[in-house]
């Protein structure tokens, strides 16, 4: 049962849902969600530009992140520099976790537990990574303190951060009977449902990235919530928006391209999902490199993934590891 949160007065419950790892052949599909609550903000005024509201401490670009915390689509923030690859993702995720009153995690197990995304019980996820991996812990604490102060001044609170990680075995089981797009949508709607249950009287507005360029979502929403009354507000090439009444609980869901670049909760959801996946891939690569030190790590995407799979064949044979536990079927 998700505990509900009640506020007095006018407020906007502003949420975002996004994924990381939709296309790779190795590693989990991760779906993240985040909710920011803007107190004393009339939802009828629409979603404000939170980057503008917090521009003294939040930025969009890595190059501006020396004295500010970068928040954006995770693809914009992950660096190619090996030692600094996760610096900006980690910094932003930890700062907003702190804004929820969550102490910065000291290892990845702690992080996974706090965001409800424990890795699958396989040997290649068995190691532990100390955190932070790309930041100085004392500087992170300063960032966390500065962000908490800025959010308080702006009358904004971070009320929800969560991630779901679907390992390859479960991914293959579920996509044997449905498309990976349907799997991704189902997990996203599970996040949406938990947010609706957490804010049963506050009418959350949820921003979700378009799924494969699709425009019409009403039937999919109705399948997920058979009991809901669904009103189509907008369906066009730029945006699809729906008003749902789920047993008296209202929610408005908007599907639009680049939501994670336009809406801060969706950007944070993207960062949560990507950081979670990257931590699990660190464990994955460590397992195989421990057994083959000359092996180069992989991000799991197809072109490099084929190279990696070919090189680890001896390890799979020696340890009796079935390919279908490591390699996605689609």
Is residue 6 over pLDDT 70? no
Q: Could you tell me the domains of the chain?
A: 11-325 (3.30.420.10)
Task: Give the whole-number percent of the chain exceeding pLDDT 70.
Answer: 96
What are phi and psi for residue 254, nearest 5 degrees?
A: -120, 125
Q: Would you place residue 82 in the very low, low, confident or very high pLDDT band (cuts 50, 70, 90)?
A: low
How confident is the model over 168-180, as pLDDT tens digits?
999 999 999 999 9
* Mean predicted lDDT score pLDDT of the chain: 94
CB atoms within 10 A of CB 68: 18
How confident is the model over 305-324, as pLDDT tens digits?
999 999 999 999 999 999 99
Q: What is the pLDDT of residue 78?
A: 77
Rounded to whole angstroms, the Cα distance separating 318 from 32 reads: 36
Q: How much is the pTM?
A: 0.95
Is residue 5 over pLDDT 70? no
How confident is the model over 122-167, as pLDDT tens digits?
999 999 999 999 999 999 999 999 999 999 999 999 999 999 999 9
Rounded to whole angstroms, the Cα distance separating 320 from 164 reads: 28
How confident is the model over 243-291, as pLDDT tens digits?
999 999 999 999 999 999 999 999 999 999 999 999 999 999 999 999 9
Rounded to whole angstroms, the Cα distance separating 96 from 198 reads: 18
Q: What is the pLDDT of residue 2?
A: 45
Q: What is the pLDDT of residue 1?
A: 39
Rounded to whole angstroms, the Cα distance separating 188 from 30 reads: 10
User: What integer is the mean pLDDT of 224-242?
Assistant: 97
């Amino acid at each position: 049962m998700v505990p509900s949160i009640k506020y007095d007065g006018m407020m906007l419950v502003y949420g975002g849902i996004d994924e990381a790892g939709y296309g790779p052949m190795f590693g989990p599909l991760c779906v993240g969600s985040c909710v920011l609550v803007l107190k004393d903000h009339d939802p009828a005024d629409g979603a404000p530009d939170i980057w503008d509201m917090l521009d003294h401490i939040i930025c969009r670009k890595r190059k501006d992140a020396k004295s500010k915390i970068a928040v954006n689509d995770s693809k914009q923030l992950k660096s190619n520099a090996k030692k600094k690859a996760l610096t900006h993702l980690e910094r932003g995720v930890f700062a907003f976790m702190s804004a929820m009153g969550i102490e910065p995690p000291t290892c990845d197990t702690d992080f996974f537990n706090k965001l409800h995304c424990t890795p699958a019980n396989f040997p290649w996820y068995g190691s532990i990574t100390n955190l932070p991996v790309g930041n100085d812990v004392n500087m992170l604490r300063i960032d966390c303190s500065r962000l908490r102060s800025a959010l308080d001044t702006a009358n904004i609170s971070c009320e929800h951060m969560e991630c779901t990680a679907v390992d390859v075995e479960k991914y293959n089981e579920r996509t044997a009977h449905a498309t990976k797009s349907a799997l991704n949508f189902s997990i996203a709607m599970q996040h949406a449902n938990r947010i609706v249950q957490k804010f049963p009287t506050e009418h959350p507005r949820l921003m979700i990235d378009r799924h494969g360029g699709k425009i019409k979502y009403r039937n999919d929403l109705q399948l997920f919530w058979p009991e809901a009354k669904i009103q189509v507000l907008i369906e066009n090439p730029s945006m699809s928006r729906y008003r749902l009444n789920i047993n008296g609980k209202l929610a408005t869901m908007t599907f639009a391209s680049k939501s994670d670049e336009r809406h801060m909760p969706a950007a944070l959801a993207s960062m949560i999902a990507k950081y979670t996946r990257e931590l699990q891939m660190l464990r994955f690569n460590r397992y195989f490199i421990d057994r083959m030190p000359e092996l180069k790590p992989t991000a799991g995407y197809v072109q490099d993934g084929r190279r990696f799979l070919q090189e680890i064949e001896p390890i799979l044979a020696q340890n009796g590891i079935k390919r279908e536990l490591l390699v996605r079927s689609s």
